[in-house]
Amino acid sequence: MTVIGITGGVGAGKSRILEILQKEYGAYVLFADKVAAELEEPGQEGYRLLVEAFGTGILGADHRLDRQAFAQMIFQDSRLLSEVNAMIHPLTWKAVREKLKAYEEKENPVSRVQTEAGYSCQEGAAGKGRPFLAAVEAALFDEQSKEICHTLWYIDASKENRIRRLMEGRGYTLEKCLDIIKNQRSREEYLALADQVIDNNGTLEEVRRQIARLLGPCSDFHGQIGKQSGPAAFRRKEGSIENSKKERQDP
């Protein structure tokens, strides 16, 4: 199974890319923040660690984490945010790995064809293979968590577009947008970690073309085994894609 990591700052439009991968390429999509939220529920290890570190003042009347108040507290203090990440991220990536493994075993229990890119296909009744693709979305990857993925895509968008999307889509104030962006990784840090870059400042069709350049057209994607147009080949295309990545690093 090929696993694509999807990362980028808030408002970059990661959901647009994930929707294309899910609906048009059949990808299994995991959201790391949702996995983390599950771990922060009462009785879970993440919940225990947070209460031990910050006390019961972070809980609401129902004894669950008051997410809105807690998020406001940590996003205003980069030190606190780093402490929380150090507690929750290892648990989250362990759970993500387990979910990916469970999905692959469920979807592909019998016959698999292993390709050079490390993805697997299930043999169908007609002898055709279906590529298994998964996408993991997370705002924060590092070298360790990146090991889960075969490739990491950075979703790039201008600061102006990000702010506009947040204000229009989530109703955030300009001040809130700037506070959140300030405490996230810089564009340069994302670029240094990413394998590929998707420019998400343009139209939906422009984004589709970029994805097709990496994975092949979605019409050709399904049923590919060992052909040069699907995910078995896209990692071998890194030389040509790398040039576009470097070009995109210029503001």
Nearest to 108 by CA among 26, 6, 215, 23: 26
Averaged pLDDT in 10-residue chunks for the chain of 251 residues? 92 94 92 94 97 96 95 85 92 94 76 38 36 82 83 95 95 92 89 94 95 79 41 38 44 42
Q: Residue 218: its pLDDT value, please?
A: 67
Asked if residue 98 is part of any domain, the answer here is yes
User: How confident is the model over 92-103, as pLDDT tens digits?
Assistant: 999 999 999 999
> Looking at the domain assignment, is residue 177 inside a domain?
yes
Domain contains 250: no
Query: For the chain, what is the domain count?
Result: 1
Please report whether residue 207 resides in a domain.
Answer: yes
The CATH number given to whatever domain includes residue 141 is 3.40.50.300
Residue 251 is assigned to a structural domain of this protein: no
The token pair at 181 is: 């962006």
Q: Within a domain: residue 102?
A: yes
Q: What is the pTM of this model?
A: 0.76
Residue 125 lies in a domain: yes
Domain range for 213 is: 2-245
- Per the DSSP assignment, residues forming a β-bridge with 6 are 137, 153
Q: Is position 117 within any domain?
A: yes
Q: How is 142-177 classified by DSSP, letter by letter?
A: -HHHHTT-SEEEEEE--HHHHHHHHHHHT---HHHH
